[in-house]
Amino acid sequence: MKFLNRLIILLEIALSYVMIRRQNLRQEHKQPHNILIFAYMGLGDAIMMLPMLRAVKETYPAAQITALTTLPSPAHEILRLSGCVDTIEFFNFKQSLWKERWALINRLKKVRFDLVFSSYVAPVPYFVRLLADIPLRIGHVPPARGVRNMNLRFLWTHSVPLRDNDKAHETTRYLALAEALGIPTQKHRLNISLTPSKEHEERAVDALKKYGVGAEDMCIGFHPAVGVTMPWRQWGVEKLIQTAQELQRSYSSATRTVWILLFGSNADKELLEEMSEALKPNVIILIPDQICHPGDIPLSMTMALLRRCSLLIANDGGIAHLATACGTPLVRIFGMADYHGYKALQLENGVKNVDVWKGLECSPCMGLGVIKPGYNLTNCGHRNCLQLITVQEVVRAAEDVLPLDKENND
């Protein structure tokens, strides 16, 4: 079955090449009515796409924007919260049969899209039959790596080449797609801000009160996991426990209790419970799905809880980017992934964000969404990019972001 799927994809690419060669290589730029955006990505990637989305929406306010995304990624929640997307389509190309993919493509063809934006993380080879019918096609051209990341430059009327080790930030890479079409982006370059609903903020305060968190107490958030697919990005639960204990000692006073809020999902439950057991009694496990109402957007509730935190300490992952987007000060522990592409942004809100990163010669092992040739990031033999980061370094970074109140701690 896998062989058959690949054979069908290769035939589709060949037919699309013939179709596109018969068209004008560069279409006239007209006001689009229907725009398709590939959003096959994780939580952090979706946040990085926000500046580009907002620039596109401002330039084409009357256009209907459809995003093609996948589950279980919560990226679709970011798209909903952004207010820039009108329709969200879900499709898991890895688990779906070619017949299901063809049914989706046939349905999307009926929309008659005028314009498509496709980032380097999109599974482009699976959708060439759809793309070939869209007059304006804007896409990244990453280095060719296998079937999923083939060099399909011929597909694009406007291509944006990417190369390994370019040290560009991910927001810049996405903005380049809009800029290729002449869309002004300067106004939105750092526009990743998101705000939870007022209802969620009120419910977050009430939820913490039920645990015993007082108005004068301090909350420090921790996100110990990074998702079930990338456990190699974890600094280590033991070090996080030590960091939390140090910060509780440093920031507690006679009038203020320091609570540790542990963020995660149902998949992280075992890890969260291990930390909670070591940090009792002033610790709370927060899995938004368990305190959300039917119809809620769980990420909005997560944002409301993050905004109650004076600081978030996290591994490199989507929750860390969400903290930045909603204005929570951040200390992030960064290892083998693309640091330059995903380093913490310093926004105009004055909130301080710090990355603890060793910058070793061998890192990053990963770039443009794939493992770099010759690297084995899941077991390189030493993991020094994370192992060499000490508890004291992270505590100092936290104190830099959140200065100690000496008078209150004497």
C-alpha separations of 206 from 24, 101, 221, 293 in Å:
60, 45, 17, 14
Q: Which domain holds residue 245?
A: 198-409
* CB-CB contact of 195 with 349 (8 Å): no
Same domain, 89 and 140: yes
* Tally of domains within the chain: 2
Same domain, 157 and 249: no
Same domain, 36 and 62: yes
> Quick one: pLDDT at residue 15?
66
Same domain, 179 and 252: no
> Quick one: pLDDT at residue 288?
76
Same domain, 170 and 263: no
> Quick one: pLDDT at residue 383?
83
Give the domain CATH number at 179. Answer: 3.40.50.2000
Residue 205: count of CB within 10 angstroms of its CB: 15
Could you say which of 167, 188, 209 is where a domain stops?
A: 188
> Quick one: pLDDT at residue 17?
57
Q: Which of these, 366, 361, 307, lies nearest to 338 by C-alpha position? A: 366
The angle at the Cα of 146, spanning 142 to 148, to the nearest 5 degrees, equals 70
Q: What is the mean pLDDT of each run of 10 residues along the chain (410 residues)?
A: 65 65 57 93 94 97 96 90 95 83 94 95 87 92 67 86 87 96 93 93 93 95 81 88 97 94 90 94 88 83 95 93 95 90 84 92 77 67 88 97 66
Same domain, 160 and 243: no
Same domain, 184 and 206: no
Q: Is residue 193 part of a domain?
A: no
The angle at the Cα of 309, spanning 308 to 311, to the nearest 5 degrees, equals 155
Say how far apart CA 284 and CA 303 lie, in whole Å: 16
Q: Is residue 167 part of a domain?
A: yes
Q: How far is C-alpha 40 from the geometric centre of its chain's CA atoms?
A: 11
Say how far apart CA 37 and CA 28 lie, in whole Å: 19
Same domain, 245 and 143: no
Q: Is residue 375 part of a domain?
A: yes
Q: Is residue 279 part of a domain?
A: yes
Same domain, 169 and 255: no
Same domain, 266 and 364: yes
Could you tell me the pTM of the whole model? Answer: 0.89
Burial of 338 (0-12, 13-18, 19+ CB in 10 A): buried
